[in-house]
Amino acid sequence: MTEEIIIAGFGGQGVLSMGKILAYSGVMQDQEVAWFPSYGPEMRGGTANVTVIISDERISSPILHEFDTAIILNQQSMTKFESRVKAGGTLIYDPNGIVKHPSRKDINILRVEGSRLAVEMGNPLTFNMIVLGAFLKAKPVIKLENVKKGLEKSLPERHHKLIPLNLEAIKIGQENLEVVQTI
Amino acid sequence: MSEVADRIKEIINPENLVYAKSPLLNDDIMHYCPGCSHGVVHRLIAEVIDEMGIQEQTIGVSPVGCAVFAYNYIDIDWQEAAHGRAPAVATGIKRVMPEKVVFTYQGDGDLAAIGTAETFHAVNRGENIVMIFINNAIYGMTGGQMAPTTLIGQVTATTPNGRNVDLNGYPLRITELLAQLPGAAYVTRQSVQNPAAVRKAKKAIRKAFEIQAMKKGTAFVEVVSTCSSGWKLNPVESNKWMEENMFPQYPLGDLKDGSRADAGLYSIKG
Amino acid sequence: MGELRLMKGNEVIAEAAIRCGCDAYFGYPITPQSEVMETLMANRPWEDTGMVVLQAESEIASIHMVYGAAGSGKRVMTSSSSPGISLMAEGISYMAGAELPCVIVNVQRGGPGLGTIQPSQADYNQATKGGGHGDYSLLVLAPASVQEMHDFVVLGFELAFKYRNPVMILADGVIGQLMEKVVLIDQRPRWTNEQIAEISGTWATTGKSKNRKKHVITSLEMDSFIMENNNLRLQAKYDQMKDEEVRFEAIECDDAEYIMVAFGSAARICQKTVQIARQKGVKVGLIRPITLLPFPEKIIAEYATKVKGFLSVEFNAGQMVNDIRLAVNGKTKVEYFGRMGGIVPTPDEVEAALEQKLIRG
């Protein structure tokens, strides 16, 4: 199994940390992982994206043209990455702020209203974990127990009290994944 | 003849000894020109290190410039630094061996032109090192070009019509600037043109090394010096020219005498 | 086995430095490698191992602090990115001339000038052909993974002291920012004064004791005949490196009709290109130089008589390709593909170039 993922959105949406938790969870599952962020000024308030690869084998390139899954959280990223999902791959997006919805016919398209759900949860910071939950529902490449371990490993000890909240957000994401199109 | 030899023999005995070369100075013939101040300052450093009994702990850092070969003359461990970088090299040595004694020996081009940044920041960090600064207002090694400390109107190879403020700016009093830095513990300006001055300079150098031992911050000793070759004067004329022209611009004496500033003065409140 | 962690390439440089018993790090912040010093400072190694970490006023000061500390027989390192390495060039030349060991990490970004902060391999020539003045060589290691960022710090110090020569780890922005699993070595103590006396006692400036001659760290020699001899001694050392230190990885080369040559993150990309091309039935292999200096010219010369061509894949205008051409010496075709200015080609792009320049070309 090799899962090549791009997560893309605004800086501040928790894109990089979502990727990090996913990568840590992969480590907890004894898999090879790679996490490669965009970096530099574009991180500050602009768009941010991160490539996460989880594999049973040694990972070759962290730079990819096409992805198995794209997790897309703003319009700029939709414009940039919709075309870069492999045929037969999966695109998951939050419709909030999206004006041009995905139109490809050869990929699975799923959505999760992460922004709305996070507000309803009373904590906008849970946004990225809701999206992660939706991804794990669509692509169960990591067991939930390993995600919990990944959270423990990636969060500093002083934030460990937030782990139950994060797990709750992941659950909400899993429950609220909507299928737009399957192939 | 034998009468004279006998007289000399009578004279050469310990109780008549008024001066002996420091055991730390070797017998190599110095490459410095007649009338140059470097030789005297080398001697003073060797004497201080010897008298303080710190030969085995001391590492000198020589510059690029006339004193590049300082390591040939004083019998201690040395590192020869790139042009202007002696304070950085000394920082490196002192930080990994804080128990050792480290000093730099630099000229005006090295310390006050190409190495200004390293000089300022080493002093500003309050590195526990001694810095000896030989200011002779000219570049000796490369053949008498303008230094940052060259006086207005002074003729050098690159100011053949005299240093012109509009073109070259002003003589740099770097020692006064360094004295403002909170990391500086002891900043003084000395000279070595006569026995009284030499005695004072030696005291200052000794004090600088003592300050290092007390970890009080950077100890900085400028020695206003002669360059008879560069100035195209004989040794006697050089000393006179220095007294008349250099001292008004670079007045002798202590500029700072204490220890580096209390960090509390600069820290964030609350 | 040591501790397993998920870490960024830049962070692991710091962690490996502390764990291998490095005595001091001097540096100046520059993107994309500032995490090296940030990680060191956050770890406060001076409280545990006694390692010194100091933010200098410039890269120029950093390298000369390294000079001073290395001259004292200590294990010292610095890190920077391309423009900062240019500033260090004079100091690196002095260190090579004075035969001082140290580890220098260059996490390359695109140039020339201020250029870009995005990844690049445009300092290949600078690292392998000098960079500073005079006839000197570094030993240059090119990590292609976070694990190698770690391993090459440890190896770098071993080689630096074996040859009394600066070692450069030539990484790039991709490897610096990439996070992967890494197995860390267990904490090793810093060398004691007794160990330093044993290892570097013939030259280090630790203070002149009564029973030995003074030590002088210098690259200066006014007598041209002695200076030429000094140069000959250095060249002999570089020849020994050529004999003993060449490292490379050959991937799927046994049956290859075409071979790509790439180092660092470009080699990671090419590994994927090998997979893509082989799925299409193209027999392609990859040689990954691990030491860029000494360059693995023998293995390339060996394959030159067996394959239909080489493709050098670099994030620059084609620098390593010249070393490949020298090794191939006209025996087969040598082409170059690369991107510049911080653009990192994808495996598909490389595959297309392979097809166009080598197979159909």
Is the Cβ pair C57, B121 closer than 8 Å? yes
Burial letters B146-184, b for 16+ CB under 10 A, else e: bbbbbbeebbbeebeeebeeeebeebbbbbebbbebbbb
Among B71, B76, B117, beta carbon nearest to C58? B117
A contacts of C270 (beta carbons < 8 Å): 61
For domain C248-359, the CATH architecture is 3-Layer(aba) Sandwich (3.40)
pLDDT > 70: percent of chain A: 97
Question: Rounded to an integer, what distance in angstroms lies between the CA atom of residue B6 and that of residue C303?
Answer: 87
Q: How far is C156 from chain A (nearest CA, A)?
A: 24
Is the Cβ pair C269, A61 closer than 8 Å? yes
Number of Cβ atoms within 10 Å of the Cβ of C2: 12
Is the Cβ pair B88, C65 closer than 8 Å? yes
Domain spanning C3-193, CATH class: alpha beta
DSSP B194-252: SHHHHHHHHHHHHHHHHHHHTT-SEEEEEEE---HHHHT--HHHHHHHIIIIIHHHS--
For residues A155 and B139, the model is more confident at B139
Interface of B with C in 85-124 (CB under 8 A): 85, 88-97, 100, 117-118, 120-121
Please indicate if any CB of chain C lies within 8 Å of the CB of B31.
no
Q: Which one, of B185, B187, B210, lies nearest residue B48 by Cα?
A: B210
Confidence class for position A171, pLDDT limits 50, 70, 90: very high
Q: Which residues of C sit within 8 Å Cβ distance of A? A: 4, 6, 31-32, 117-118, 173-174, 177-181, 265, 268-275, 344-349
Of the options 3.40.50.2300, 3.40.50.450, 3.40.50.970, 3.40.47.10, the CATH number for the domain spanning B32-260 = 3.40.50.970
Domain that holds residue A130: 2-181
pLDDT at C1: 67
Question: Rounded to an integer, what distance in angstroms lies between the CA atom of residue C83 and that of residue C103?
Answer: 18
C contacts of B93 (beta carbons < 8 Å): 68-69, 71-72, 205
Q: Which residues pair with A70 in a beta bridge?
A: A6, A91
pLDDT at B118: 98
**CATH number, domain with residue A32:** 3.40.920.10
Please indicate if any CB of chain B lies within 8 Å of the CB of C186.
no
Q: Cα(first)–Cα(last) distance of chain C, in Å? A: 48
The domain ranges of chain B are: 32-260
Number of Cβ atoms within 10 Å of the Cβ of A30: 10
Confidence class for position A5, pLDDT limits 50, 70, 90: very high
Q: Which residue is closest to B86 within chain C, CA to CA?
A: C64
Task: Name the stretches of chain C with pLDDT < 70.
Answer: 1
Number of Cβ atoms within 10 Å of the Cβ of A112: 28
Residue ranges, CATH 3.40.50.970, chain C: 3-193
A contacts of C275 (beta carbons < 8 Å): 60
Q: Which one, of C250, C347, C152, lies nearest residue A62 by Cα?
A: C347
Task: Name the stretches of chain B with pLDDT < 50.
Answer: none
Mean pLDDT, range A50-76, rounded to an integer:
96
pLDDT at A11: 80
pLDDT at C105: 98
pLDDT at B270: 65
Please indicate if any CB of chain C lies within 8 Å of the CB of A20.
yes
pLDDT at B191: 98
- Whether ipTM tops 0.90, in short, is yes
pLDDT at C130: 81
Q: Which residue is closest to C345 within chain A, CA to CA?
A: A63
Residue ranges, CATH 3.40.50.920, chain C: 248-359
pTM given for the model: 0.95
pLDDT at C341: 87
Q: How many CB pairs under 8 A join A and C?
A: 73
DSSP A65-84: S-EEEEEE-SHHHHHHHGGG
Q: Which residue is closest to B26 within chain C, CA to CA?
A: C214
**Chains in contact with chain B (at least 3 beta-carbon pairs closer than 8 A):** C
Residue with tokens 């060039």: C89
Q: Which residue is closest to A53 within chain C, CA to CA?
A: C180
